[in-house]
Amino acid sequence: METLMKRNSAHLMGPMSLTSGEPLSLRANSRYAHSMSGGAGGSGIRISRSTSYGGQLSSGGGSYDYQFPGANSGSFTIFNMINGNAALSICCDNAHLAAEDFKIKLDYEMGMRQAVEADVARMRKMLDDTNMTSLHLEGDIESLKEELIKLTKYHKTDLAELRSHIGGRVEVDVDAPKGQDLTKIMEEMRDKYERVALKNQEEVKAWHDSQITVVQVEVAQNTTALKEANSCLSETRRRLQTMEIELQSILALKASLEATLREVEMRYNMEIEKYNEIILRLQAELTRLRDDTQQVKESSKTVQTKVVTVTQTLVDGKVVSESKDVQASEKVVSA
């Protein structure tokens, strides 16, 4: 877009010079327009077609070079102007590309600058930390110096008191044999204590190694026992789970059997109640029958009847022979 605007501005700037490709001045433009229009009173020309950049201008196939001697120079000028505009557009494109390159370089430099600024900020932070540490150390040094001054002061005071105490004593010179060399005695005692300390250190080291060995053995044993206990615990848990599963199944079976037992008891109770009702009804009927029988026995009377069968033989209306058959029978008559 910027290149197109530059090209349009180049076209608006007018024709270019023949030699340098720079824009012509206003006076040169007016002269060029005056020459193209044929002067102040000329009729002017109209360029209809151009066969080539350096070719002659024609209108209808005829040549007007003898009539317009400035036409060729005008077309040549236009060609030079076009070339100048093309060169200017190329320069503008090159400048645009160079600007893009500079922009990329600027972005890269800005990134480098930001990285350097970050490093500088980090280094400044490290410097601040170092300064703070230095201040703390300086404070410690000052406190140590003060403590050293106090100790020196106390030492001088104690030394002065000791000197004054020693100065107040009475010195008595006694002829005595030369004493032992205290430095030598101290060296011997130091060597002795160093040997004792080294021996104790070796004994402590040996005891420590033996204790470490014992502890390692105990740890190994405890590890083995722990593994066995873990395996036993796992087996116990597995058995517990199995037994819990069996217990659940047994409880379920117990519940189902109890439900079945309750159903059977209910059914048997219903049947027993039905049979008891039947028995009670039969007993009631039996009692009633017994009562009826007893009542019948008490209130009945026995009636004995005799049936006499008489057989007579009649002859001419007269009884010739007669026979009798007597049968006894009982008839129960209710009162």
pLDDT at 69 over 80: no
Residue 278: inside a domain: no
Entry pTM: 0.25
110-132 tens-digit pLDDT: 999 999 999 999 999 999 998 99
Q: Name the band, by pLDDT with cuts 50, 70 and 90, for residue 173.
A: low
241-263 tens-digit pLDDT: 999 999 999 999 999 999 999 99
Whole-angstrom CA distances from 289 to 38, 61, 282, 295 are 169, 163, 10, 10
Provide the pLDDT for residue 299.
74
Tally the domains of the chain. Answer: 1
Average pLDDT for the chain: 73
Residue 13: inside a domain: yes
Whole-angstrom CA distances from 186 to 91, 125, 181, 190, 236 are 99, 55, 9, 6, 71
Residue 142: inside a domain: no
Say which range, 24-38, 128-142, 291-305, 320-334, has the weakest mean pLDDT. Answer: 24-38
Spatial separation of the C-alpha atoms in residues 76 and 80, rounded to whole Å: 6
The average pLDDT across 138-144 equals 88
- Print the domain residue range for 98: 2-40+53-116
Residue 86: inside a domain: yes
Residue 34: inside a domain: yes
Residue 173: inside a domain: no
Residue 145: inside a domain: no
CA 54 to chain centre: 80
Residue 203: inside a domain: no
187-214 tens-digit pLDDT: 888 888 788 888 888 888 888 888 888 8
Spatial separation of the C-alpha atoms in residues 244 and 247, rounded to whole Å: 5
pLDDT at 283 over 60: yes
Say which range, 53-57, 73-77, 169-173, 273-277, has the weakest mean pLDDT. Answer: 53-57
Of 307 and 282, which is predicted with more confidence? 282
